[in-house]
Each structure stands twice: as C-alpha cells, then as structure tokens.
Structure 1
C-alpha cells in the first residue's frame, strides 16, 4: 500500500522554491558546470534524470547535440521549459514529464546526469534510480554504459560532541551543517571514518551499512555522529584531479550519550536502504563503548605492584 503522503516526500516531489535555493548555491552550481563541461564532448547525447529547473541540462546543451531532461513534477516541467526557452542552446533540450525511475531515452546516450543527492544517500532516490536505469539500459542498448555525473559518492561517519542547547532549550534533534562553515557548536572527538565508496558505473548494493570501530581522539561526551557525503562529480584524467561537491553534513544525536577518553574504541553499527527517510539511519544505529584506554601511569603502577602478572600479559601480547 502506498503512503498517502508519498508525493510530498523529498525525493519524490521537490517544490520549485527548493530548486530556487539550489540555483543560489554558488559552490554547487560551479561544481556541476565544471564537471558537465569536462565530461560532455561536442556532439554528445545526454540524459538528465530528475531535471528540476533544467539548469544542468542547460550546462550540457552548450556542447551536446541533444539533451533529454526528465522531470516528474509538472510544476518543474513547466518552469524548465520556460527557463530553457530564454537561454542559449536551450532548444537542444527536450523536457519530458516522466518518472526517472522508469524512463529510458529513445537512443543510446553518452552521459547521464543524475543529482538526486542527499547526505547519506537518504531521502532522495539517487541509488534506486541509477540502479534501475543501468539494468534497463543494458537490456535495451547493451554496453557500454554512459558516463555518470556524479561519478561516485564517498560516505563517512565522525564521532562528535554537539551542543543541543538553543537559548536554554535542550533539543537533541537531527541538525544540518554547512560543510564550508566553522561549526562552533560541534567538537570533533575523532577523525571521519569512510564506510562506503560507491561508483555509479559499477554494480552496487542498495544498502548503506557499516559495522566498525572508531578510535576516540579527544576526551568528551559522545552524544552525536556527523554524517558526511562527498560526491565526485567528475574525474579529470589529464590533471589527475576531481571535481567535488559536499552535501550538507547531518548531525545525528545518540539516544544515550557516552563519556569517552582519548584512545577509547567505539563500536558503530547501522544499516539502511538508499533513499529511505532520515530516521532509517538513526533507527538502526547502535553505538557502544568497546574498550577503555588504560592510562600509561596505571600500567606502570601495575607493573611495579604485580611484575610477574605484567610480564605474563606482555608475553601473551607479543605472541598474538
């Protein structure tokens, strides 16, 4: 049974005013323009899945012979057609009202642009849309697959101590952070640890998961995790460099804070499907203290008080 609010969910039906905010994001716009200009060769055929206002199809049309721009939301379809008609080479773009999860172009394409991206690959449908596209494209046209923009996503998790007090009001809730800003309310307790490297041209699982440990680098109160998603928009083989774009960081509060010290080991486990709601990660999240660091002074005192025991332990450690 379908959720009656499905059409209102982000990733299903993003309203026009939200796209206006994306147009105003200079870092995002410059990144995609550079990546598309790099990947799209003169005379190429291009498909954009989830075209929104049509801006990325516009970037592609400056060099492409033909661009198919697929958008489900009728309001955005109208806006994209109107905007493209006012821009140079906009006539090369055919705006098609269809669901990107099921659409295939009438001919093979060289490049596929799909920016249905949200941090953690949550909420928006990047993973299911590209996976579905690849399977259907192979059946209809065979190989090779087109080049994808973005080409890859790298995901990491970081332990932090977050200030959840707002003018005296304590609210441990999911927060968003600008990746380019200094976060004075966040204290890093360890380095980010990569849990997923996803190349869209390669086979990939629809599940985002991790079961690992992080070493704490600073004393503090572990009460949240920072979720980081870095998208590799394009790879420049000539300069051996990449065009990157970070989506907003997400701060996920822990249900029970953990007092930690430098050197402690923290176990982190979670599993969720790409495109799932934000709470899919927090609902599956398990964080626990695995081992406490034993201070060097305590070890020294133990060695003085129980030398035979200490020699036995260290001997066993060397054998392992």
Structure 2
C-alpha cells in the first residue's frame, strides 16, 4: 500500500532552497567535482539521477559528449535550466522531468551520478533508485553496467555520551552534526563499528541492519548512538586511493541511558529499509549492556597465581630474562 505521505518525504521533493544551500557545502562540491573529473572521460555519455540544480551534470559536461539529467521536481527543472544556461557547456545537458525510479536513457551511458544520499541511507531513495535502475538497464542494454558516482558507501555506528541540554532546556532529540568539525557536545564511548559496506555496482540488499557488539573504551553515561555514513565517490585504481565525502552525522537519543565503564560490552540490534524515515531505525533499535570484560592483565595475573598455587617449585625456580 502506498504511503499517503510519500510525496512529502525528503527523498521525493527537497525544497529548492535546500539545493541552494548544498552549493555552499565545500566538502560535497569539491568531492563530487574531483570524482566526476576522474571518472568522466572525454566523449563519454553520462546520466544523472536526481539532478537538483544541475551542478553535477555541469561538472560532467566539461568532458562528456552528452549528459542526461533527470529531475522529478518541476521547480528544480526550471532552476537547473536557468543555471546551466549561464555556465560553460551547459548546452550539453539535456534536462528530463521524470521519476528517477523509472527513467532509462535512450542509449547506453558510461557513468551514472546519483546523489540521493542521507546519513544511514535513510529518507532519500539512493538504494531503491540505483537498484531499480540496474535491473531495468541490464534488461534493456545488457552488460556492462555504467560506473556509479558514488561508487560505494560505508556505514558505522558509535556509542556516545551526548549533551542534550540547550540553554537549560533538556531535549533528547535527533541531532545532526558536521563531520568535519570537533563535536563538543559528544563524547565517544567506543570506536565506530562498521555495519555495512555497499558497492553500488554490485548486488545488494535493500535492508540496512546490524546485530553485534561494541567494546566500551571510556567510562560514561551511554545515552545516544551516532550514525556515520562515508561515501566513496570514486576509487582511483592508479593511486590506490579514494575520493570521500561524509554526509552529516546523526545522533539518535536512547530511550533510557545507562552507566558504562571501560571494558564493558554493549549489544546493538536494528534493521530498516533504505530510504525509510528516520524513525525506522529508532523503532527497531535495541541496545543492552551484556557484560563487563575483565582486563587482560588481571586475567594474566589470575592465571599466574593459579599456576603458582599448583606448582610452587616451578615458580620459585623460574628466572626472568
């Protein structure tokens, strides 16, 4: 059954002013420009799914022979048309008003750009759009598939102690964080744990899920989890390096906080569909303290003491070199 609110979801229609603000995101702009410049060769044909202002199609048009730019929102189509007309090689871009979930170009393409990205691969339709495109493209044109920008996404989860007080007002709500600055409100209680590695050219599940454990490395009050999504925009096989871009971190408050100590283990479980609303993660989320690890040194000393009790003569005669 179709969700009656689907057309209001961020992944369906992002307001025009959001796209204008994206042009100010230097990390995003420079990352995609560098990746597109690397992967789009002179004379190639390019498809962009979800073109927005047309900026990434503009990057591609500097080398490509032809760029097909698909955008569903008529307001954005008009904005992109006006902006591309003011930029070099903008005439190489053909704007098509269509749903990226169903559109196919009239000919094979070499590169597909799709930036329907949100942290956690939530809300926006990156996963279903690319999966749908691949199935329909292979049926119409056969192999090989085009190269995708981004080529892959890596997702991780991290336990946090987070300050949810705002000028004296306590509000444990979902928070967004700039991944490129120090977050003074957050204290990491453990290292980020990777739960998904997704290569867009390969087959993948539509489900984002994890059922695992994280080691607590700092004492604190566990009251939140941070979701991290790192996108590999392009992989340079010549230099064995990647061009990366992090979407904003998302901090999810936990319904109940718990005191944890260094050496504890916490179990985390969740499962949601790519493109689902933010609450799809919190609705399925389970977090529990499962054990407190005994430090390795204590284990070693305990074993040594047990050995000394059972074999005192061996310990007395043992030397240290």
TM-score (norm 1): 0.93
Stretch moving more, 166-175 or 292-301: 292-301
C-alpha displacement of 1:293? 2.8
1:66 maps to which residue? 66
For the 8 Å contact 1:150–1:233, the answer to whether it is kept is yes
Q: 1:131 is matched with which residue?
A: 131
Matches within 5 A, 1:15-94: 15-94=15-94
User: What is the distance in 1 between the residues matched to 2:171 and 2:270?
Assistant: 23
Distance 2:185 2:91 in 1: 48
- Output the CA distance in 1 between the equivalents of 2:303 and 2:42: 72
Q: State the distance in 2 between where 1:299 and 1:55 align.
A: 58
Equivalence map 1:1-320=2 (5 Å) = 1-294=1-294
Measure, in 1, the Cα distance between the counterparts of 2:309 and 2:258. 31
SS in 1 for 2:202: coil
Say what the alpha-carbon RMSD is for the aligned residues. Answer: 2.2
- Alignment partners' CA distance in 2, 1:170 and 1:309: 55
Q: 1:45 to 1:169 in 2, by over 3 A?
A: same
Q: Do the aligned partners of 1:261 and 1:293 also contact (CA within 8 Å) in 2? A: no
Q: Which runs of 5+ in 1 are unaligned?
A: 312-320
Q: Deviations over 1:226-274 (max 9, x none)?
A: 0000000001112111100000000011111111110111100000000
CA positional deviation for 1:48? 0.1
Deviation at residue 5 of structure 1 after TM alignment: 2.8
Q: Measure the CA separation in 2 of the matches of 1:308 and 1:136.
A: 70
Distance in 2 between residues matched to 1:310 and 1:64, nearest whole Å:
77
Residue aligning to 2:316: none
Distance in 2 of aligned mates of 1:295 and 1:150: 42
Q: Which residue of 2 aligns with 1:314?
A: none
Aligned length: 311
Q: Cα–Cα, structure 1 residues 14 and 301, in superposed 2: closer, same or farther, change >3 Å?
A: same
Deviation string for 1:167-197 (max 9, x for gaps)? 1111111100000111111001010000000
Matched residues in 2 for 1:71 and 1:19: separation?
Answer: 13
Of stretches 54-63 and 162-171 in structure 1, the one that deviates more from structure 2 is 162-171
Q: 1:301 to 1:85 in 2, by over 3 A?
A: closer
> Would the aligned equivalents of 1:31 and 1:245 in 2 still touch at CA under 8 Å?
yes
Between the aligned partners of 2:233 and 2:302, the Cα distance in structure 1 is 54
| Alpha-carbon separation, structure 2, partners of 1:168 and 1:69 | 47
CA contact (8 A) 2:155 2:227 kept: yes
Bigger mean CA offset, 190-199 vs 162-171: 162-171
Post-superposition CA distance 1:258-303 (Å, at most 9, x none): 1111011110000000000001001100000110234689879989
Secondary structure in structure 2 of the residue aligned to 1:20: helix
Q: Distance in 2 between matches of 1:295 and 1:238?
A: 44
Question: 2:263–2:295: 8 Å Cα contact kept in structure 1?
Answer: no
Distance 1:290 1:81 in 2: 56
**Cα–Cα, structure 1 residues 168 and 310, in superposed 2: closer, same or farther, change >3 Å?**
farther
